[in-house]
Amino acid sequence: MALNTLLASVLCTLVLPLLLILVALKLWEVYTVRGRDPGCPRPLPPGSMGLPFIGETLQLILQRRKFLRMKRQKYGYIYRTHLFGNPTVRVTGAENVRHLLLGEHRLVSVQWPASVRAILGSDTLSNVHGAQHKTKKKAILRAFSRDALELYIPVIQEEVQVAVKDWLGRDSCVLVYLEMKRLMFRIAMRILLGFEPEQIKMDEQQLVEAFEEMIKNLFSLPIDVPFSGLYRGLKARNFIHSKIEENIKKKVRDSDKDPKHRDALQQLIDSSRKNREPLSMQAIKESATELLFGGHETTASTATSLIMFLGLNPDAVDLLRQELMDKEEQGMDLQTLNIESLEQLKYTSCVIKETLRINPPVPGGFRVALKTFELNGFQIPKGWNVIYSICDTHDVAEVFPNKDEFQPERFMTKADSSSRFQYIPFGGGSRMCVGKEFAKVLLKIFLVEVVTKCHWTLLNGPPTMKTGPTVYPVDNLPTKFMSYGQT
């Protein structure tokens, strides 16, 4: 009798809950796979949907690249999963990505996770569609025209020179990633939003901390309750909006004036007035926040990767210095750069391209299927999210031999058109990054300054890299900077 009671107790406390969990998982898998379109003969991509409701979101957030690498090795270039509350197909490989990027508005449409849309806002360039997207993109592109970039160069040089001088003056090491975020934040505030240096200095610490909190929680479960990731992200976003609003009001008041340079935010204000659209303070604040995110977080990631790769590859630094010395001998003034002189720095360009190949700052892009379509033998059901992977596509690109090695010279020869979608650090199609030329100019100026003034040593050697949401070193890349020529 006692034995029967014990067995019953074990059954109730251990076996029965386990069976219920297994049944729940099976029902969840059946429920999510019901999204398959019966009108399409192709099967769903292979994969797993994870836990009920949360899917595999937690594994992605906690493991990032390790999780993605494991999934790709197990299921191949196209697989299904469940992320951020939605059934999702993740896509890798040039041909697959080309199919998606050229199918914008026909097969797929941009749709970031609910948490991203909630924090950044629904009226941002990355979230609007159709005519609204074209109008907003056109306005922002004016701020990244060749003439506009020419005017930005002195401001960028000034900020980079001040930062490098500070690093060289320190006895202790520099945590490169943290410093890059501050540097790129100041540049973005001045160039993209038109803030004066005094304004930035007054609020810099609070704004940087708030931006950190916002970015950290961009990709979180879409649950807005106290202490959740989304709640913290929204709170930080609201603080940033409050600091930006006064500057926007000043721009609106002064928009009848005709200054020599109009920053990206001013272009949006001008566009609204030109099109006789009502000026929405919330929409402008959201656009300003998006510009700050796109304008400093990605460039900070890439600038950090540049210091890392060059610190690990001194031969590449020697070639950079040789190019700059040759240009100086030919009459180039490295202290007063312009677009034309920057375009002559071919090897410098290759170093940036190779860095973006190995460590693209943004790992991928989000879309939603507008209709059920076929991709490489699988069906992508209408309404499912689709993520195209930039980092994985670079990893598997056949045009890059010895892909694990840092070889900038691979970009010295012009790529043929067939390799177009094997290298996509800025995305592609109609949604290609509008600030890519700004980023290239900024990073070239940064390299010129740091290579001509500095010698540096990575104190921890090659770091472990993580993604959240951009690529960064977990140790912040502690580095000792010394004046060039000093040992």
Helices (H), 335-458: 339-343, 346-358, 390-396, 436-453
Classify 159 as helix, strand or coil: helix
The distance from CA 214 to its chain's CA centroid, rounded to whole angstroms, is: 14
Is the separation of the CB atoms in 369 and 383 below 8 Å?
A: yes
The distance in angstroms from the start CA to the end CA of the chain is 83
Element containing residue 480 per DSSP (H, E): strand 478-483
Residue bearing tokens 């769903």: 44
What is the rounded distance in angstroms from the CA atom of residue 155 to the CA atom of residue 446?
A: 12
Residue 469, preceding peptide bond in cis (omega within 30° of 0): yes
C-alpha distances in Å from residue 323, one per residue of 354, 438, 485: 17, 22, 17
Q: What residues are paired with 466 via a beta bridge?
A: 472
What is the rounded distance in angstroms from the CA atom of residue 42 to the CA atom of residue 4?
A: 52
Q: Where are the beta strands (DSSP E) in 73-212?
A: 78-83, 86-91, 108-110, 174-175
Classify 93 as helix, strand or coil: coil
What is the rounded distance in angstroms from the CA atom of residue 136 to the CA atom of residue 277?
A: 12
Distant-in-sequence, close-in-space partners of 157: CB < 8 Å, separation ≥ 6: 335, 337, 445, 449
Classify 435 as helix, strand or coil: coil
The answer to whether 433 is a known ligand-binding residue is yes
Which of 317, 340, 291 lies closest to 441, judged by CA? 340
Is the separation of the CB atoms in 267 and 192 below 8 Å?
A: no
Q: What residues are paired with 483 via a beta bridge?
A: 454
Which of 186, 194, 124 lies closest to 442, judged by CA? 186
What is the rounded distance in angstroms from the CA atom of residue 20 to the CA atom of residue 304?
A: 48
Question: Could you tell me which residues are annotated as the binding site?
Answer: 433
Question: Could you tell me which residues are annotated as the binding site for heme?
Answer: 433
